[in-house]
Amino acid sequence: MKNCNDAISNYNNARICFEKALVDYLYSFMGLITHLQVLFIFHNINQKFKEIKMKKVCLFVSILILVFGCQNPTETDNFNPENMEISNDAVKGTKQDYGTVTGEIGPGSSYLLAKPENWNGNLVLYTHGYVEPEYPIQLPEIVPIRDFLLMQGFGVAYSSYSENGWAIKDALVRTRQLIGLFNSNFGKPTHTYIIGNSIGGLVAVMFAEKNPNLIDGVLSICSPLGGSKKQIDQVLNVRVLFDYYFPYIIPGTPVNIPEDLNLPEVFGNITIALVTNIPSAIELASVDQADISYANINELIESIVLSIAYDLIGMEDLLNRAHDQLMVDNSNTIYTINGTPIPYLNDPETGVTRYEATNAGIAILIPGFLSGLVYKFG
């Protein structure tokens, strides 16, 4: 568990400023009782982020123990990554007999290859998840996963992409290059597996579909495998429904995010609006097209906030890639609750705001479409 906590420590540190700003903002607007309720809900939102990160590391390691550990169970009984002696100080772009190779591929993308001394002849590729466009491009922090795999005797290869955001095309190119780099430095592996989370999990499945002769197994974690278009439209539905039930809370529109948007302030306003009008929040989540499930009020608010967050953080990147052509569409959506159309939501004059996608906008999502060929594996 300690290593899992280390894996998310940087993530938690990155959220401290956001949490402090939101807490300060809430203090300035809320009474004590309502404020404590908001803080409790925000704490759960923060915990949800932590749990997601924890699951991506700890549950994944557990899966690897079940899948790969059976090859030599006696070596895994006393596994402790802290006792490993894997070299991480390789000269950039050079090879060591046993250790790591680092370098750059493509414009701004860096990679790391690792081969343990007890190499079992197999390679695991890792494709990282969504990174906000404004963040620096850097290698994903997967040390616990990497070290566990190396301890098991697997070679490991992973990279950043040349860009952040919805970088599906670039991710596929960089992943293909990793195989060639590993082969040229350490030799061709007997089997190659690929794993990924978030859009990295989508990339992993797509890469396997496009290169079935190169991949022997796929593990996709928390990925939009049901269809990127469907997921983005769900985000749009939540946002337009929120704007209907809670007007004037979020600046701009779902497809026009202000450049100077103060996210801590906006998320504070969203949380306050939901907490102080629970009936409307419940009705919003009851709309079939919102596709929100929850077990209690805290989960209700968490789910709404997280869905809106995807719009506020990721929509601008998608629109930039599509040259402001829309890829989201609710122009013909009939909003229902338990299958029954809701007249006031569907009213063309006073109902939810409508948006219509263009073919050019949808085209940028095509790299995120799956063919279904992956089901032929195994």
Q: Using alpha carbons only, give the angle 254, 259, 264 rounded to the nearest 5 degrees.
A: 80
Q: Round to whole Å and give the CA distance between 227 and 204.
A: 14
Q: Round to whole Å and give the CA distance between 1 and 228.
A: 33
User: Nearest to residue 41, comparing CAs of 249, 262, 276?
Assistant: 276
User: pLDDT tens digits for the chain (378 residues)?
Assistant: 444 344 344 434 434 444 444 444 333 433 333 433 444 444 444 444 444 444 444 444 433 433 443 344 333 333 333 333 333 433 233 343 347 889 888 788 899 999 998 899 999 999 998 888 888 888 888 888 888 889 889 999 999 998 888 888 888 999 999 999 999 999 999 999 999 988 888 899 889 988 889 999 998 888 777 767 888 899 999 999 999 999 999 999 999 999 888 988 999 999 999 999 999 999 999 999 999 999 999 999 999 998 999 899 888 888 888 889 998 999 999 999 999 999 999 999 999 999 999 998 888 776 555 655 554 433
Cβ proximity of 129 and 199 under 8 Å: yes
For the chain, give every domain's residue range.
80-225, 228-367
Query: Whats the size of the chain, residue-wise?
Result: 378
Question: How high is the pLDDT of residue 133?
Answer: 82
Task: Write the CA distances from 30 to 22, 23, 253, 270, 275, integer angstroms.
Answer: 12, 10, 26, 13, 11
- CATH code reported for the domain at 80-225: 3.40.50.1820
Question: How high is the pLDDT of residue 210?
Answer: 87
Task: Write the CA distances from 92 to 124, 129, 173, integer angstroms.
Answer: 21, 25, 21
What tens digit of pLDDT does each residue of 305-336 get?
989 998 998 888 888 888 899 989 999 999 99
3-state helix, strand, coil in the chain (%, to 5): 50, 10, 35
Q: Round to whole Å and give the CA distance between 81 and 369.
A: 37
Report helix angle 2-27 to 143-151, nearest 10. Answer: 170
User: Nearest to residue 255, comparing CAs of 327, 185, 206, 190?
Assistant: 327
Question: How high is the pLDDT of residue 370?
Answer: 61
Q: Which residue has the tokens 């195994």?
A: 378
